[in-house]
Amino acid sequence: MTEVQKGTRIRSGLKPQEQRIGTFLAISLLLLLTSGGATLAQPPAAATSYNQVQVKVQTANALNATYIGTVYNSSGYMEATFQSRYPVFSFDLPSSTYLFAVTALQQSVSRCPLYAEYAKGGAAQAGPAMIYPPCFLSNPAIEYGYSFQQVTGSTSITISTQPIDKIPTSNVTITTSYLNGTAASGASVSAYIVGEWYWWGNSNNRLVLWGQTDKTGKVDL
């Protein structure tokens, strides 16, 4: 090679490894652009539409009550709950199937005698000890109702409630076992009233919501 050729050789300031990296990056960028891999601004997804569902409560008795409405989806998960002093409320829900449950809770009543009748002459007056009659706290009146609804648009539904002790019951036998098929003896089994708030267990003495399985793995609720 002559001196002229040596002097005219084009020299690169990059090392061979750096040249290969630069070539790789350039090819990668070209592939992204030509294959549509470049991220472009996408239009926002359509917003979920909601349907207004108005729930009216029709109690069996005249109650000065607090009303609690609860909505569950078809998988059993609670979607919304609402509490009001009025027997009407509304929910905004997507189109689907729902269970609407309502509790009407009458405030408990405290029954105490008029102690003034037993404190004649004032509390400071000396005299024999006075025994006051006890106070009694009555259980609140509770009514419950529910309704399955297919919601496809705005609608209004009425749910009739009944006193807890007036709702008919049915016997349910629960059978439990381990994965190997052996009966699960002594297992605790519980049941719950869906959407029933402020439950008082003695409001319906026919209800059996808890039990333990026998030696065959069964229990009746």
Give tens-digit pLDDT for 54-98: 999 999 998 888 899 999 999 989 999 999 999 999 999 999 999
Looking at the structure of the chain, the number of domains it has is: 1
Task: Say if 78 falls within a structural domain.
Answer: yes
Are 87 and 57 spatial neighbours (Cβ–Cβ below 8 Å)? yes
Q: Which domain holds residue 70?
A: 51-109+129-220
Q: Is 199 exposed, middle or buried (0-12, 13-18, 19+ CB in 10 A)?
A: middle
Residue 26 Ramachandran class (φ > 0 left, ψ -120 to 50 alpha, else beta)? alpha
CATH number at residue 149: 2.60.40.1120
Q: What is the pLDDT of residue 6?
A: 47
Q: Which amino acid is at 35?
A: S
Task: Say if 169 falls within a structural domain.
Answer: yes
Q: How does strand 155-160 pair with strand 51-58?
A: parallel
Q: What angle do CA 57, 63, 69 make, to 5 degrees?
A: 35
Which residue do the tokens 């539409």 mark?
Answer: 49
Largest CA distance in the chain: 136
Q: What is the pLDDT of residue 162?
A: 92
pTM for the model: 0.62
Q: Which two tokens stand for residue 195?
A: 């959407």
Task: Say if 23 falls within a structural domain.
Answer: no
Task: Say if 35 falls within a structural domain.
Answer: no
Q: Which two tokens stand for residue 112?
A: 């105490």
- Count Cβ atoms below 10 Å from residue 147 Cβ, excluding itself: 14
Strand partners, 147: 100
For 114-125, write each residue's pLDDT tens digit: 555 545 555 445
Task: Say if 190 falls within a structural domain.
Answer: yes
